Amino acid sequence: MSAVYTTLAIDIGGTNIRLGLLTANSLRPNYIKTFKINEFAGLAEVIELFLSSAPPHQITQAAIDVATPVTQDTIKLTNHTWTFSIRGICQHFGFERLKVINDFTAMALSIPLLEPSELKQVGGGTADPDGAIALLGAGTGLGVSGLIRSAAGWYPLSGEGGHVTLGARNARELAIFAAFWDKYGHMSAERLLSGTGLEEFYQVICHLDGKTPEPLQPAAISGRAIAQTCPACMETMTLFCEWFGIVAANLTLSLGATGGVYIGGGIVPNLGDYFIQSGFRAAFETKGRFTRYMQQVPVYIMDADNPALRGAAAALNQRFDKIGLSCTS
């Protein structure tokens, strides 16, 4: 007789929502399903659909990671119109316990659970086993987090580092960034290092060159850049990789992340060798007097299935009670 699932883990991004089930004492979700957020009115509708066709289950606890700050009962996604009440979801489904954390906090919690085969190293030396770890990843938005070593083990950081301000390195970048300043009054890292950012950056580059942009999705922009069939796409992705290196390096220096830099999200892992052979690593290491320091820091691309789901489930451990918000019935 197969075990009955007792835990539900949910990963809510800006585009997709993933749900997985765990048995008691399990660390890795299975029976995982992915849905498009735009196809549903709200979170409860997705959970109901998922559970209606799930294997035998008696859910007593659930963990949700979400692409937005988790500071109050009402959760609103940063890059989508969805909102939900933590207490409302807990009561609606009769969960004994519901835990909600930031999606990149969940991603950080997954790092110690990854196998070596789920990582691709991009330069650098050997990680300091006790050094802080930096994490960032581009998808619909740009997530940033990290891990620090405590007496009880690794502990995640919660922040919104994807919204730090960028500064141009040359006249061309200044012209590009100025278009974002004129529109938003702020040039954040997420405006470039995200799916929505790639689309808008491509359009800005076309306009600066006096050309009419095509209605390209991020995958088409990166695809044309890799195939070298579109100069605007090629410039967009060149800037993406270089600025990813710059932002990753700034995070590394801020955290003293000698334990390594981990890259997740939906964009970079899918770029494969293009990213590895890009200007990312050179931009990452170019830090003046700290260039040698940066050259020693390893960078790892997370080539893993649903790491945020694993991290969300891990957040149910009592060690992480003070992370995010919880509701009990």
Q: How far apart are CA 148 and CA 133, in angstroms?
A: 6
Is 305 annotated as contributing to ligand binding? no
279 φ/ψ angles, rounded to the nearest 5 degrees: -80, 10
Chain centroid, CA 258 distance in Å = 20
Give the Cα separation of 157 and 29 in Å (integer). 23
Residue 270 structure tokens: 């899918």
C-alpha distances (whole Å) from 192 to each of 168, 256, 294 are 12, 24, 23
Is 11 within any annotated ligand binding site?
A: yes
Tell whether residue 15 is among the known ligand binding residues: yes
What residue type is 16 in one-letter code? N
CA dihedral 299, 144, 142, 234 (to 10 degrees): -20
Rg (CA), the chain: 20
First vs last C-alpha separation in the chain: 30
Q: Has 60 been labeled as part of a binding site?
A: no
Nearest to 309 by CA among 74, 5, 23, 27: 27
Q: How far apart are CA 280 and CA 321, in angstroms?
A: 37
Whether 37 has a binding-site annotation, put simply, is no
- Could you list the residues known to form a binding site for ATP, using ranges: 10-15
- Could you list the residues known to form a binding site, using ranges: 10-15
